Structure 1
Amino acid sequence: MTATPTPSPARPNILILMVDQLNGTFFPDGPADFLHAPHLRALADRSARFANTYTASPLCAPARASFMSGQLPSRTRVYDNAAEFTSDIPTFAHHLRRAGYHTALSGKMHFVGPDQLHGYEERLTTDIYPADFGWTPDYTRPGERIDWWYHNLGSVTGAGVAEITNQLEYDDEVAYHAARKLYDLARGHDARPWCLTVSFTHPHDPYVARKRFWDLYEDCPALDPVVPPIAFEEQDPHAQRLMLASDHAASHVTDEDVRRSRRAYFANISYVDEKIGELLDVLERCRLSDDTIVVFVSDHGDMLGERGLWFKMNFLEGSARVPLMIAAPGLPAGRIDRAASTLDVLPTLAELVGLDLGGVLPWTDGESLVGPAKGTGERSPVPMEYAAEGSYAPLVALRDGPWKLILCDLDPPILTNLDEDPQELVNRAQDPACAGVMAAMTAAMDARWDLARFDAEVRASQARRHVVYAALRNGAYYPWDFQPLQKASERYMRNHMDLNVLEENQRFPRGE
């Protein structure tokens, strides 16, 4: 039996700040100049900033399972927003907890299935999305909209202002519980190092913001997309599928709808920035900043009307590129342009805190970013996968230097050069001048992926889940959604506690 590693008192704490659907093109080197995000800008100044970071899969549940495990969806089998994340896949929470860390989650991680912890010792809130198989796509019915849960453009046509929404209520709760947890950790009653993940649902649509944040963007120069809408028949085949899936033709989106949606989206970046600032302030006031690694990341991006597309679900830059900033003792601050992946967070954290991943590295798709941040190494070409709603067969992509190649058995390949064509408007796949690049990248992708096998595995998973979901909804229903428990009898003052001891233990920091 393998011995449990003993905790090291020298290991730093870890605070992971995750947001949802934040387009990485607005974080070219920290927040873009037009964004009112002072706390993220200050964090950027002391962080290694990975300017070209990509999601493993441009949809919530697959992206997050990959982020936590360092494995692509073809390994995790979390293909879509209703695919189970199985308990035998180690996450960074498992690795850290095994090494003696206290691990906790406040907020969203979109775990599907009965395991709602995946290595976290405690969870402070429930999730915002369901944990069952109800949102399972169906490749046997291509083109059929599942209206009750598929995206439509109501988020765009209904964009505007509100002081409270379902999403704002959730993120207010996430921030409150995270701050309370940081105070508890600071008191030092538990001697273990800790990893706290705080995961917000903003700036994910619907595009509705509080007025004080909305007002910050009245004269914003970025309210109009860089690339205007492209006609349906001129879009690539997958973009056409996404437009059909979002019921684009029935939505009648106006230019003003687009501007209001983008304005609310930017406003919600400012809202999240304020929440993050509050948490970083707790770190500072409780004397934890010097010993805490801070990671800021998103699960995927949002097209925000570029080319007439919305949300995510594709490999274009707006959807697939995300911000990633890491502030850590001994890690130089600065911009790194080499492409990186959200898959890399797990091995990067492991190297920063001295964990050995040798036993699982053969099944890991991520690579440590410590070397690239220090200028002593480079990350390999970055892979991505997508096999969820709006697709009729799996799509895969590879970012290698300036080149991005997208393959799907149903579609012609798409090859773009992001240095020359950052808006990805010119497909170079048939360009004779790119024949060498095309051949080399295709060979690399064929070596990595068997698309026919991938497709068969996705279809089998979908079929199983459709049977199980219908069965579990028939008769008595037991939900998998996480139910946070509050131990009210162990909080504040109770008669089994010594009042003097309680007051002394709960006061921190003391004095100057």
Structure 2
Amino acid sequence: MTESKPNILIVMVDQLAPRFLPIHGHPLVRTPHLERLAARGVVFEQAYCNSPLCSPSRTAFMTGALPSRTGGYDNAAEFRSDIPTFAHYLRRIGYRTVLSGKMHFCGPDQLHGFEERLTTDIYPADYGWTPDWERPTERPSWYHNMSSVTDAGLCVRTNQMDFDEEVAFAAERAIYDHARGRDRRPFLMVASLTHPHDPFAITRPYWDLYPHEAIDLPRVGAADVALDPHTARLRHVCAMDAEPVSDEQVRNARHAYYGAVSFCDAQLGRLTDALEAAGLGDTVVVFLGDHGEMLGERGLWYKMSFFEGACRVPLVVSAPGRFAPGRVRASVSLVDVLPTLVEIAGGDPDALASAIDGRSLVPHLSGRGGHDEVLGEYLAEGALAPIVMLRRGRWKFVHSPADPDQLYDLGADPEELCNLAGSGEHAGTVAAFRAEAARRWDIAALDRSVRDSQRRRRLVDAALASGVTKPWDYQPFRDATKQYMRNTMDLDDLEAMARFPRVSARGGEPEP
């Protein structure tokens, strides 16, 4: 590693809303490892995803580009292989690039610039989850439903627990392998967990961190706000009105969610402890999420909208010796991560091979100010047409040809209780935002592109499901003939290489 090319660890979590973190003021949730990271890092108070859904958000995160630019519209849209990612850029300038965990890549390319992928994904890589804007009232079986809430609570084991423990173990071992290996390239490692994504179930050690009676209920109920058309569609898409949800079920779901947040924090601690133990304490550590979780606020669950609970994400960058600890209030987003990583790694974020929508966060990290703007797009289930969002200063503006505009003054109204778009007092602000949206997006063309993509993918998915199938899901390869002790290896050489710290040849003491 050189000073210009530090090791970089990105820990990504799934569906974590910042308002449920103590670093953003929550009084109950326990995340000691994240708090320690934040105390020596830079905390972004207004970080956003660019599309509040797993796959399109992660595609934007990796490419620095909005879904309208990449075609990553929804959870079954192919992530094209010819689009450079931050893994491509850093790998080309000398990094070893490693992925452990979930990225929800759709399509046959399951690496996208990563040299090594340590685990499979938890979600399918095919086109089976393609939405259909031509049939907006139909609910496919793969859409969210409310069983995650009605069945929430304690568990002994879950699919997600199996996955995340494998992710953390593989990433931890890769850190030690790097420290004791001969590859002197700096590493970029992404360890991506699926918690605290629903279903809301957690094991006893994490459930017992919280007294059940202390679990807070939503601040804003469904009856406290007007029902906008997109919210009404989401309630149908996710079957939120199919059966009543009791306060106790809501409390169970939030209790399990808080436990899952603490589980994620424990995995973060496991990895940062491994860095310290391996002598890699100067690694740049980035903690972030792919999108938020409404968790019952406004009577909504999950994501898929541009309300703060669904689209804000945690973002902490810790690089002691490079960036002084602090907090940034400006609005930034996940598309800003790619140019930031390129700059931190010693590359030129202004000389990229592909057009992007993000801007480097290094000015913010260095205390020199920076941009204050977020662009968002939602092009998936529950929409009837493209939904776009502009966030700047105190304002958030949401526009879709299918729905009335929304304008919120987040400085005065952080809960988004009052839509100002219909107010004569704010007509000029709305007109300016509408004109900007028209300049930035050709929404009619984007609508046609999304619908064309959906039709093609539904046909291809139906065809590929017939006859002999060839799944795209990633299959990790491990050559067991080169693991542990084999007769092709010298025992003394193997033990000396695998032990960390290394033992000196003469005295048997660890090397300094």
* 2:151 is the alignment partner of 1:158: yes
Q: Which amino acid counterpart does residue 78 of structure 1 have in structure 2?
A: G
* 2:374 is the alignment partner of 1:390: no
Aligned to 2:401: 409
Where does structure 1 lack aligned partners over 5 or more consecutive residues? 1-6
Aligned to 2:132: 138
* 2:468 is the alignment partner of 1:476: yes
In structure 2, what is the Cα distance between the partners aligned to 1:28 and 1:449?
A: 37
* 2:174 is the alignment partner of 1:178: no
Q: Go from structure 1 to structure 2 and tell me whether the alpha carbon gap of 1:96 and 1:30 turns closer, same or farther (over 3 Å shift).
A: farther
Q: Which amino acid counterpart does residue 312 of structure 1 have in structure 2?
A: K
In structure 2, what is the Cα distance between the partners aligned to 1:326 and 1:385?
A: 25
* 2:327 is the alignment partner of 1:335: yes
**Equivalent position SS for 1:283:** helix
- Could you tell me whether the CA contact under 8 Å between 1:159 and 1:257 is conserved in 2? yes
In structure 1, what is the Cα distance between the partners aligned to 2:369 and 2:259?
A: 37
Q: Go from structure 1 to structure 2 and tell me whether the alpha carbon gap of 1:331 and 1:194 turns closer, same or farther (over 3 Å shift).
A: same
* 2:444 is the alignment partner of 1:452: yes
* 2:62 is the alignment partner of 1:62: no
Q: Which amino acid counterpart does residue 452 of structure 2 have in structure 1?
A: A
Q: Which amino acid counterpart does residue 487 of structure 1 have in structure 2?
A: D
- Could you tell me whether the CA contact under 8 Å between 1:82 and 1:134 is conserved in 2? yes
Aligned to 1:44: 38
Aligned to 1:3: none
Deviation at 1:362, TM superposition (A): 6.4
From 18, 22, 28, the equivalent of 2:16 is 22
Q: Residues 416-427 of structure 1: matches in 2 within 5 Å?
A: 416-427=408-419
- Could you tell me whether the CA contact under 8 Å between 1:79 and 1:387 is conserved in 2? yes
**Equivalent position SS for 2:35:** helix
Q: Go from structure 1 to structure 2 and tell me whether the alpha carbon gap of 1:214 and 1:359 turns closer, same or farther (over 3 Å shift).
A: same
More deviation, 156-165/244-253 = 244-253
Aligned to 1:4: none
* 2:177 is the alignment partner of 1:149: no
Aligned to 2:506: none
Aligned to 1:314: 305
Aligned to 2:105: 111
In structure 1, what is the Cα distance between the partners aligned to 2:392 and 2:475?
A: 43
- Could you tell me whether the CA contact under 8 Å between 1:67 and 1:346 is conserved in 2? yes
Deviation at 1:63, TM superposition (A): 0.3
Q: Residues 197-346 of structure 1: matches in 2 within 5 Å?
A: 197-219=190-212, 221-230=214-223, 234-290=226-282, 292-328=283-319, 329-346=321-338
Where does structure 2 lack aligned partners over 5 or more consecutive residues? 503-509
**Equivalent position SS for 1:503:** helix
- Could you tell me whether the CA contact under 8 Å between 2:88 and 2:113 is conserved in 1? yes
Deviation at 1:393, TM superposition (A): 1.2
In structure 2, what is the Cα distance between the partners aligned to 1:159 and 1:27?
A: 20
Q: Which amino acid counterpart does residue 212 of structure 1 have in structure 2?
A: P
From 401, 409, 422, the equivalent of 1:430 is 422
CA root-mean-square deviation: 1.6
TM-score (norm 2): 0.95
Deviation at 1:30, TM superposition (A): 5.1
Q: Deviations over 1:344-386 (max 9, x none)?
A: 1111111112112434376111111111232323214210100
In structure 1, what is the Cα distance between the partners aligned to 2:84 and 2:2?
A: 21
- Could you tell me whether the CA contact under 8 Å between 1:403 and 1:417 is conserved in 2? yes
More deviation, 217-226/264-273 = 217-226
Deviation at 1:440, TM superposition (A): 2.2
- Could you tell me whether the CA contact under 8 Å between 1:25 and 1:317 is conserved in 2? no
Deviation at 1:488, TM superposition (A): 0.4
In structure 2, what is the Cα distance between the partners aligned to 1:210 and 1:159?
A: 12
In structure 2, what is the Cα distance between the partners aligned to 1:201 and 1:133?
A: 20
Q: Which amino acid counterpart does residue 293 of structure 2 have in structure 1?
A: D
- Could you tell me whether the CA contact under 8 Å between 1:163 and 1:211 is conserved in 2? yes
**Equivalent position SS for 1:243:** helix
Deviation at 1:249, TM superposition (A): 2.0
Deviation at 1:289, TM superposition (A): 0.9
**Equivalent position SS for 2:208:** helix
In structure 2, what is the Cα distance between the partners aligned to 1:30 and 1:220?
A: 22
**Equivalent position SS for 1:384:** strand
Deviation at 1:502, TM superposition (A): 0.9
Runs of 4+ in 1 over 4 A off after TM superposition: 7-10, 219-222
Q: Deviations over 1:375-410 (max 9, x none)?
A: 323214210100101111110001010100000000
**Equivalent position SS for 2:250:** helix
Q: Go from structure 1 to structure 2 and tell me whether the alpha carbon gap of 1:332 and 1:443 turns closer, same or farther (over 3 Å shift).
A: farther
In structure 2, what is the Cα distance between the partners aligned to 1:30 and 1:426?
A: 23
* 2:93 is the alignment partner of 1:99: yes
Q: Which amino acid counterpart does residue 99 of structure 1 have in structure 2?
A: I
Q: Deviations over 1:125-161 (max 9, x none)?
A: 0000000000000011112111x20000000000001
- Could you tell me whether the CA contact under 8 Å between 2:155 and 2:203 is conserved in 1? yes
Identity across the alignment (%): 52
Q: Which amino acid counterpart does residue 301 of structure 1 have in structure 2?
A: G
More deviation, 499-508/305-314 = 499-508
Deviation at 1:251, TM superposition (A): 2.5
More deviation, 244-253/234-243 = 244-253
In structure 1, what is the Cα distance between the partners aligned to 2:325 and 2:414?
A: 26
Aligned to 1:84: 78
Q: Deviations over 1:408-445 (max 9, x none)?
A: 00011000001111110101112222223222222222
**Equivalent position SS for 2:106:** coil
- Could you tell me whether the CA contact under 8 Å between 2:52 and 2:305 is conserved in 1? yes
**Equivalent position SS for 2:193:** strand
**How many residues of Structure 1 are paired with residues of Structure 2 in the alignment?**
503
**Equivalent position SS for 2:178:** helix
Q: Which amino acid counterpart does residue 16 of structure 1 have in structure 2?
A: I
- Could you tell me whether the CA contact under 8 Å between 1:163 and 1:210 is conserved in 2? yes
* 2:432 is the alignment partner of 1:440: yes
In structure 1, what is the Cα distance between the partners aligned to 2:212 and 2:154?
A: 16
Q: Which amino acid counterpart does residue 345 of structure 1 have in structure 2?
A: V
TM-score (norm 1): 0.95
